Amino acid sequence: MITVFVLLSYGRRSSLNEETVTETPSDLFDTELPDKEISVLIEGTILPGKGMLDALTAVEGISLEQAFEISESLKYDVDFRFIVAGERFVVEMHPEHNTIKSFSYMPDPVTTHRLFRNIDGSLEYELIEIPTEKRYRYVEGEISTTLNRALNEREIEPSVAATVCGILECIINFRSDARKGDKFTVLLEERYHNGDKLRGARVLFASYDGVRTGRRVAYYFSDTDKNSAYNAHYTKSGEALIVTALRYPVDRVHVTSPFGYRIHPVTRRRSFHNGVDYRGSIGDPVYAVASGVVIDTGYDNISGNRITIEHPDKTRTAYYHLNRIRVRRGQRVIARQRIGDIGRTGRVTGPHLHFGVMDPKGNWINPMNRRMIATKRLEGEKYARFLVQMDEIDELLSSHIRKERLFANGNINNPGSSLIISSLNGISY
């Protein structure tokens, strides 16, 4: 969809919602009005099963080179793992020069990822966020058929229900140990804007009480970096829910190019991307995702400095574009051992790690489908912060229980499943 609109020079952009707000300066009527500036707006949406680049090239009026400029400028600030079909974007074009003036991507009603043309001619990124209200929702239930059905009956959206199921399946063997009548509890952190709930939720706590399982619990640990590989669920003792899972190959998890077909940023041709690209800076550590033997190290013009490790189950993992190789062929390595540094060697446009997984039959598989963790157990400063966060979560749970008791005694109205303890911009009040 293409729209032509007029921007008055006396407009200003609101810091909250990116709208143009007209103003009337006190001396407006004493000066000559400037010429109007005309822009062309091109609107589009993310397509099912496609990435940002494919969505841009599918829109009439945007050339391949313009789509690449937007995608390359955006990928270091937006994690492309979380792009969802149907999300909107708008490209503002100069009508005479057919050049990009700005780009806005709106994954939800309160977030805008914006690129604008700066003074040196490049596209510069800014994040625009409208303040939201944070609410905590307490959900409990009993298993009658399946856990997923029980969660759906309590109006938990499918993506969040899948997260809860994934957590509890790590600590409960549902095939052999789950029984009808077993109970579960979940604490969700949800965001609201103007009274409307936004998509998704963070699962802060999940518990399962069963006849055969006893009580099992999991808490969410939030590291200081929102992209930290340590952001995950752990037991009360700080142990990972699945200690046999692969380790992350990097400390910060930000995907700039996912697995599958794409238009290559260098060749400009459509080709199969047999791994995922993780954002990083030159010199950042690269880790082995599991124990194994280094079967290849070397350099070529495509992969740059590369390492291949074969693991006990005959799966192989590949690490490309390294700045430095810290292991040698034939060396045995363990999970989370530093094997190299992120670089920009080979055919690349910027520093990153290309990480690939090959199954025993020689087929490349999507690394994003493999469960990964950063560590078997939180230790040191991270575990100390986890203890503080668990105390905060326990206080939220206790607050709901206190309200239920007051309701049982007839002192307050029914608290229901929502625990309305709110905050704005993450600051509780």
- Per-residue confidence (pLDDT) for residue 29, from 0 to 100: 39
Q: Using one digit for the tens of pLDDT, what is the confidence trace for 253-267?
A: 999 998 988 878 777
Long-range pairs for 390-395 at CB < 8 Å and ≥24 separation? 390/219, 390/236, 393/187, 393/204, 393/205, 393/219, 393/220
CB of 276 closer than 8 Å to CB of 368: yes
In Å, what is the CA distance from 320 to each residue of 245, 267, 276, 286, 373? 22, 18, 11, 10, 21
- pLDDT for residue 418: 52
Pair 104, 18: CB distance under 8 Å: yes
Taking CA atoms, 185 is separated from 168, 182, 192, 204, in Å, by 11, 11, 22, 11
Q: Which residue has the tokens 């100390």?
A: 384
In angstroms, the first-to-last Cα distance of the chain is 43
133-245+378-428 shares the fold of 2-25+32-129? yes
| pLDDT recorded at residue 37 | 67
Taking residues 155-174, report their average pLDDT.
92
Q: What CATH number should be reported for the domain whose range is 247-370? A: 2.70.70.10
Q: Are strands 372-373 and 246-247 parallel, antiparallel or unpaired?
A: parallel
Q: Write the burial class of residue 414 (CB in 10 Å: 0-12 exposed, 13-18 middle, 19+ buried).
A: exposed
* Token pair of 245 as six digits: 């899972």
Residue 33 is predicted with a pLDDT of 47
The CA-atom distances, in angstroms, between 207 and each of 164, 182, 185, 329 are 10, 11, 5, 45
pLDDT > 70 in the chain, percent: 85
The pLDDT score that the predictor gives to residue 413 is 57
Please state, as a whole number, how many other Cβ atoms lie within 10 Å of the Cβ of residue 150: 21
pLDDT at 81: 87
Query: What are the structural domain ranges in the chain?
Result: 2-25+32-129, 133-245+378-428, 247-370
Q: What is the pLDDT of residue 50?
A: 83
Query: What number of CA atoms fall less than 13 Å from residue 126's CA on the CB side?
Result: 12
Quick: pLDDT tens for 100-113: 999 999 999 999 99
Percent of the chain with pLDDT over 90: 65
The model's pLDDT over 378-423, given as tens digits with 9 standing for 90+, comes to 999 999 999 999 999 999 998 887 776 665 555 555 555 555 444 4
Which residues contact residue 194 at a Cβ distance below 8 angstroms, ignoring those fewer than 6 apart? none
For 2-25+32-129, CATH gives 3.10.450.350
Cβ neighbours of residue 409 closer than 8 Å, sequence gap 6 or more:
none
Q: Report the CATH architecture of 133-245+378-428.
A: Roll (3.10)
Using alpha carbons only, give the angle 219, 224, 225 rounded to the nearest 5 degrees. Answer: 105
The shares of helix, strand and coil residues in the chain, as percent rounded to the nearest 5, are 20, 40, 40
Which of 127, 126, 53 has its CA nearest to residue 83?
53
Strand partners, 279: 352
Query: Distance between CA atoms of 66 and 183, rounded to whole angstroms?
Result: 54
Residue 7 has pLDDT above 50, yes or no: no
* Residue 58 scores a pLDDT above 80: yes
Q: How confident is the model at residue 8 (pLDDT cuts 50, 70, 90)?
A: very low
Least confident of 13-22, 297-306, 331-340, 418-427: 13-22
Question: Shortest CA distance to 106 belongs to which of 125, 130, 90, 82?
Answer: 90
Residue 322 has pLDDT above 80, yes or no: yes
Q: Which residue did the predictor score with more confidence, 173 or 265?
A: 173
pLDDT of residue 18: 38
Nearest to 102 by CA among 128, 129, 132: 128
Q: Is 25 exposed, middle or buried (0-12, 13-18, 19+ CB in 10 A)?
A: exposed
At a CB cut-off of 8 Å and minimum separation 6, what does 145 contact? 180
User: What was the pLDDT predicted at 330?
Assistant: 96
Point out the least confidently predicted range of 20-24, 177-181, 290-294, 380-384: 20-24
Mean pLDDT lowest for which of 259-268, 308-317, 335-344?
259-268
pLDDT at residue 331 in the model: 97
Give per-residue burial for 66-80: e unless 16+ CB within 10 Å, then b. bbbbbbebbbeebbb
The CA R_g of the chain, rounded to the nearest whole Å, is 25
pLDDT at position 321: 97
Are 376 and 239 spatial neighbours (Cβ–Cβ below 8 Å)?
Answer: yes
| DSSP single-letter state for residue 231 | -
Q: Which is higher by pLDDT, 35 or 146? A: 146
d(CA 13, CA 300): 48
Supply the pLDDT for residue 410: 59
Q: What is the pLDDT of residues 9-43, one digit of tens each?
A: 333 333 333 333 334 344 433 445 455 568 889 99
Q: Which residue has the higher pLDDT, 155 or 401?
A: 155
pLDDT of residue 412: 54
pTM of the model: 0.81
Q: What is the pLDDT of residues 242-251, one digit of tens each?
A: 877 789 999 9
Task: Give φ, ψ of 396 to 5 degrees.
Answer: -65, -45
For residue 208, what pLDDT band results from cuts at 50, 70 and 90?
A: very high
What the block records as the tokens of 366 is 């999507």
285 forms beta bridges with 341
* Mean predicted confidence (pLDDT) in 273-280: 94
**pLDDT at residue 91 tops 80:** yes
pLDDT, average across residues 79-85: 90
